[in-house]
Each structure stands twice: as structure tokens, then as C-alpha cells.
Amino acid sequence: MTDGQSLFAVFALLYLAECLRLVPSASWMAAGTEGSPWTVIRPWSRFQIAGGSPLLLSALPPTSAHAQGQEWLFVPGRDALDLRVADGMRLAVPWQTLTPHAEDSTLHLGAGVRVRLASPAHAQMWACRLAEWRDLPAEQRRSAFLHHARASLDTASAGRAAIHAARLTRPLRLQATLVFVWCFGVISIVYRHYGDSLAVLAAAGVLLLMQILQAWLFLRVTRDLKALIPHRFWRALGIALLPQLAMRAADAPGLAGPEELPHPLAWRSLLKHDAWLRTARQFWREARYVPGWSQSTPLPPAAEALRIFFEAEGIAEEEYDPPCPSPQPVCPRCGAGYQDGIATCSSCGGVELRQAAAAELARV
């Protein structure tokens, strides 16, 4: 490998490292632009680092804006707070052991339980909110959760916020694309043709000028977001000097999200309907058919919040909870099929199986 190729490889690695973020394991990211449907990106929740998981932002090309969302991490139960740690991983924290306090972006819940949140401000806000919930009677805790759920499912505000962030960061994303093409395309071609020469130095000089322009754009775009972007001037200096920071300059203002992060289902206007409905079904199954569920189980708070939301959005029950299509018993949570005579799903903590009635099958 020549010196030039090694430098190229180092830049590529630094760029990819800059696309990585440590986020809460249960967080969701939407990536897209003003005029096209957005896609969802999830963190690798199998990797748990300091209570969070790594997430790779939309990397190629660096033109997508991002919006951050979060599932309901905390759902109040009768005797314990139900904590969503990661996909398929929940923890019950008894109310009497709950002593929430924030430390940077980490929220400590007591008894060694901790969870990473999106920012120090979010950790602080949830420490206060959970302390309030703990001291309320059970019924009021449920109402307080439903109130929070309703706010996080505001589709109009979530869609507006994402499009606003995309518009705000447009100049940064355009300039980032130019820096990307210049750094990984033009300089490589010039180096291949001319080797170590003045031409390459001149191309590197142009790159530096492009980075300085990006730093100026960054300061201009973020002048109203000073409180939300820590170390803003140092970051601008980094953008002026380091290509990988210049290429990802739009991430910080795009991700400086609202205090109440939207639930992923609030992105209804951003996502394609099929993708949104698949996600809605998944959330419903997990909220409704909780481990140990049977026909007599009352509606859990998260499922109640979703039902209210679906009704308000005009989504019929058959759409988000399609009837069982099989004459054999099927688990309503994970969809696994069973033989006749088996009553509960062993993989889902004893969820009662259901079977299509003869009349339903005749309709199908």
C-alpha cells in the first residue's frame, strides 16, 4: 500500500467511525430528505456499551437528514416499573427500590439498574418524571403514562420536526456531499495520475477551503440551537480542520431533538404506509400480548395508549391486529404455530394461543 492509499484508508475508517453513534438501545432513527419517504435505522442492541448500543447513521452518501425517536422505555405497572432495556429485553424495577438520578446521559434507577438516554437533558427529565410517578397512586400513574404516550404519538408535530430539521440542515448536507466527493473521489484520481506532487497539495488545499466553508455554514445554521449543541465552537473548529467532521456536520443540528422524543409510530407521515403498518403491528403485539397473557388479562397501559392512538388515526383493529389465519393454534405475540392440544406459547412466557374460528376461516 502506498502512502496515499494508506491515508485514503485512514480517512475512510475515520469517516465510518464518525457515522457511529452510541444511542439508547431502544432508540429509533429515521433517515431521509424533504421530498422522499424516510427509512428507519435501528441500533445493534446485541452490543451493550455503557447502557446503550452503537448505531450506524445513513453513511453513503452523507445526504440524509436524521430524526431521533424512542419507544416507551418506562411503563408503570402495579407493583413495578416496567423498563425496556433493549429489543426483547425487559426488566421490572419494584417501585420501592426506585431511586432515579441522572448522571450525564445515564439514568440510574437504583439497585444497580441503569439505562442510557438520548442526552443529559433527557436523563434529567426522566429522573424527575419517574420520581413523580413513584409517589403517585397506581391509577394516577397510569393516567400520567397515557398523557406522556399521547404527547409522544403526535404525528403532525413529529413529521413537522423531521422536515424542519431536514430543511435546516440542507446546506450542510449539500456541502458535506461536495467534501465527500472531493475527499474520496477527486483527490484519489489526482493522486493516481500525479503521485506526490503539487497538484495533490493544491487539491488538499481546496479541501481545506471547503471544510472552512462548512464550518461557517455550521455556525450559521446552529446559531439558534446554541443550548442544544454542546461545545459548538470546538465542533466548528473540528469541522474546519478534519474532513470526516465536515462530512457529518449536519448530524448534530439534525439530532438536537425535542425534549419529548417522538414514538416511532408518530412518523406516520414520513414512512411508507406498509413499513409503518408492519411496525405498528409489532408494537401492538408486544404491548398487548405480554408474557402470560390470556383472554382475561386486562389491557396493559402501553396497549391502551396504542389503541387510543390507532382509533384517533382511523386504523381499524383488523389492520393492526389481523385475525388468526390458521385452524391450528398460533401465538398472537410471536406468530409461532403449534399443534392442537397445546394451550400456551413456551417462547413468549406462556401467552395463550389462539385459533381461527370456523366462521372466520370460511370468510377467508
Give residues with Cβ within 8 angstroms of 199, minimum separation 6: 190, 193
Of 113-121, 250-258, 294-302, 330-338, the window that binds Zn ion (rule: CB under 5 A) is: 330-338
> Contact with Zn ion (CB under 5 A): which of 161, 246, 331, 353?
331
> What does the block give as the cell for 237?
473548529
Binding segment (CB under 5 A) for Zn ion, from list 7-15, 34-42, 202-210, 348-356? 348-356
Q: Check residue 334 for interaction with Zn ion (CB under 5 A).
A: yes
CB of residue 287 to Zn ion, shortest distance in Å: 15
Q: Does 348 bind Zn ion (CB under 5 A)?
A: yes
| 345 lies in the site for Zn ion, by CB under 5 A | yes
Q: Is 177 exposed, middle or buried (0-12, 13-18, 19+ CB in 10 A)?
A: middle
**DSSP line for 334-350:** T--B--TT--EETTTTS
x/- letters, 168..187, toward Zn ion (CB under 5 A): --------------------
Q: Which residue has the cell 404491548?
A: 287
Q: Does 338 bind Zn ion (CB under 5 A)?
A: no
Q: Please give the Cα distance from 81 to 74 (Å, whole number).
A: 7
Cα–Cα distance, 27 to 264 (Å, whole number): 9
Task: Kindly state the smallest distance separating residue 263's Cβ from Zn ion, in Å.
Answer: 24
Q: In this chain, which stretch among 139-147, 151-159, 215-223, 340-348 interacts with Zn ion, using CB under 5 A?
A: 340-348
Least gap, CB of 331 to Zn ion (angstroms)? 3
Cα distances (angstroms) measured from residue 219 to each of 164, 229, 242, 257, 296: 18, 11, 16, 18, 58
Cβ closest to Zn ion, residue 213 vs residue 334: 334
Cα distance between residue 299 and residue 348, in whole Å: 17
Supply the minimum distance, in Å, between the C-beta of residue 292 and Zn ion. Answer: 11
Nearer to Zn ion, 192 or 278 (CB): 278
- Residue 185 CA, distance from chain mean position: 31
Give the footprint of Zn ion on this chain (CB under 5 A). 331, 333-334, 345, 347-348
